Amino acid sequence: MQKDDCLFCKIAKGEIPSTVVYEDEAVLAFEDINPMMPVHTLIIPKDHYDNIADNVPADTLGAVFGAVQKVAEIKGVVADGFRTLANTNDHSCQTVHHLHVHVLGGAQMNDGNPSK
């Protein structure tokens, strides 16, 4: 199931171009257009779910998170490490309401603790 007015559904259908990193029958991984790190790849299910709390079937979650290691290997960030992030709804700054996971890496990150 896809939504006609969803940016990521349009990318999954090939209606909007993207730089594809990985694709299989269930997911699509592509480069973020506003990267926050040298590696910033998004992984989406091809079916539409608003976010990770949208009653997503276990097999879909498995496909999305199963693609994380493949993307990290393709992007060459496994050895040094990477961050995986899934924002959920507006308070977490989710800007596109289609479940997606960010794979971030390629440079040293801080731990987010302002006391350091």
Active site residues: 100
- Strand order through the sheet with 20-23: 20-23, 27-31, 39-45, 101-105, 82-85
Please return the burial class of 28, using the count of CB atoms within 10 Å of its CB with bins 0-12, 13-18 and 19+. buried
CA distance 108 to 23: 27
User: What is the Cα–Cα distance from 51 to 72, expressed in whole angstroms?
Assistant: 22
